[in-house]
Structure 1
Amino acid sequence: MSQVLITGATGLVGDHLLRLLIQDRRVNYIAAPTRRPLADISGVFNPHYPQLTDALAQVQDPINIACCCLGTTRREAGSKEAIIHADYTPVGDNALAAK
């Protein structure tokens, strides 16, 4: 059985992946830390904090599979610096949490 960490579950791609994982019988645990809370979903652990790093810190169970669906556009982020903060830093935090 698989224990999955998914970041970006509130976005378009992450939401689709989360729904697929929920239906997969090989997955017995899903951790989906987010900045904004998800709707209550049975079998999904959803710590949520404005800073994703804080939400990731709440994931304590072992993880077999890590999925990163984080991403934004420069227009959404507002600047080159903001996109680096949105697209690079949390991705590294996700990898560290999965490790």
Structure 2
Amino acid sequence: MTEARTAAVAGATGLIGAHLVRMLVADPAYGKVIAFSRRPLEGISSPKLQTMEADFEKAEENLRGAQLDDAFCALGTTIKQAGSQDAFRKVDHDYILAFARAAKAAGAKRFLLVSAMGASASSSIFYSRVKGETERDIRALGFETLHIFRPGLLLGERAEKRSGEEIGAALTPFLNPLMIGPLRDYRSIRGEAVAGAMRGAALSPALERGAHIHTHDAMMHLASI
């Protein structure tokens, strides 16, 4: 019998992270789930669950002594919420990298990162460039297995409202069918589906080792496993 895994989740109270924590604690493949959260985890109760304050300045200290198998990162903000480009970069690059380094030091073999469509370290768009730099720097850490998820517009209920996403959600039934060919990867996707894809990728024997990038159709497939 395979020994149950230990996972750490950053961004545990966000749109994707909250779904992911629920899925992992319900999955017999996981015996322990360490959730980094900045507010209480509502409606999630399990003896498998351990919560930690989301202080990524002390990520390595907080994970010291943990023996991780998988690290899931659904951490992210917007420039508007962060208040400035520098503050956005601190969350979407520096904190993610700090979590990844701490997870690697704690033995994690698999790292699963939520990024975004258009991510490129050479992009002229600040948001996309930061996302790309984060992907690049996580790759450089040398995890045995790295999964990068690049969703388009994320759909679902958030604790904080994002007006652009609300407008996009209303238009999704009309826009998604029109997004074909190269635009298909930009189709809207529910946060729960991305969470399911992360769980599916982590447990897939066919996706062990190496770096894997997942866009819309791949995520929808992994979410159904």
Fold conserved between structures, TM > 0.5:
yes
Q: Report the number of matched residues.
A: 98
Structure 2, unmatched stretches of 5+, are 105-225
- The one-letter code of the counterpart of 1:80 is Q
Secondary structure of 1:83's counterpart equals helix
- The one-letter code of the counterpart of 1:96 is R
- The equivalent residue for 1:52 is 56
For normalisation by structure 2, the TM-score amounts to 0.41
For normalisation by structure 1, the TM-score amounts to 0.87
Q: Flag as ranges the 4+ runs of structure 1 deviating above 6 A.
A: none
- The one-letter code of the counterpart of 1:54 is K
The equivalences for 1:33-48 within 5 A come to 33-39=36-42, 41-42=45-46, 43-48=48-53
- The equivalent residue for 1:64 is 69
Structure with the higher helix share, 1 or 2: 2
Secondary structure of 1:16's counterpart equals helix
- The equivalent residue for 1:96 is 101
Structure 1, unmatched stretches of 5+, are none
- The one-letter code of the counterpart of 2:84 is S
- The equivalent residue for 1:85 is 90
Q: Distance in 2 between matches of 1:73 and 1:98?
A: 24
Pairwise CA distance, 1:11: 0.6
Q: Does the CA-based 8 Å contact 1:37-1:48 persist in structure 2? A: no
Pairwise CA distance, 1:72: 0.9
Q: Distance in 2 between matches of 1:25 and 1:53?
A: 31
Q: Classify 1:13/1:32 alpha carbon distance in 2 versus 1 (closer, same or farther; 3 Å).
A: same
- The one-letter code of the counterpart of 1:97 is A
Q: Which has the higher contact order (CA 8 A, sep 6+)?
A: 1
Q: Distance in 1 between matches of 2:18 and 2:80?
A: 21
Q: Percent identity?
A: 34
Larger radius of gyration: 2
Query: Deviations 1:40-92 (Å, cap 9, x if unpaired)?
Result: 6222111215x333355222310000100001111111111110011111111
Asked if 1:24 is matched to 2:31, the reply is: no
- The equivalent residue for 2:145 is none
- The equivalent residue for 2:119 is none
